[in-house]
Amino acid sequence: MPKNPALPAAEPGLPRLDAEPTEAQLAAAAATFALLASPPRLHLVWLITHGSYDVGTLAKRVGISIATVSQHLSKLRLAGVITARRDGRRHLYTVDDPHVVALVEQIFDHIAPDGTLAPDPPQER
């Protein structure tokens, strides 16, 4: 990857940044984080990273109405976070993007069940 000559030289003791994110990347990342900032929506994505579910099952698991789940799923589909496939008369929702799966796994590895930050795993020396 070519170095960006517009980036300042690293200060002593700090790593040089080879490529800062573009404005488009920053906007897209912020929009994705904003989309996942809703606890029910994040719960839906977490569930869908662990299997394919229909809207009724998701509504029961998250504890919100089918209509509300459908609205959340529409937003997630439009953003490309989840996909849907037809299975007879129902749609099954899934996460196909390994980056989304990794992001969701990482955040819940980082947050303990009581909501505090989980301790970092021990580092090998």
Instruction: Give the model confidence (pLDDT) of 41-67 as tens digits.
Output: 999 999 999 999 999 999 999 999 999
Cα–Cα nearest to 44, from 22, 67, 63: 63
Q: Decide the pairing of beta strands 83-87 and 90-94.
A: antiparallel
- The yes or no reply on domain 29-110 and CATH 3.40.630.40 is no
Q: Which residue has the higher pLDDT, 5 or 101?
A: 101
pLDDT for 123: 72
Where do we find the tokens 């947050």?
Answer: 111
Q: Where are the beta strands (DSSP E) in 16-114?
A: 83-87, 90-94
pLDDT band at residue 8 using 50, 70 and 90 as cut-offs: low
**What is the per-residue pLDDT across 108-123, written as a single tens digit (0 to 9) for each?**
999 999 999 987 776 7
Query: What are the residue ranges spanned by the domains of the chain?
Result: 29-110
Find the length of the chain: 125
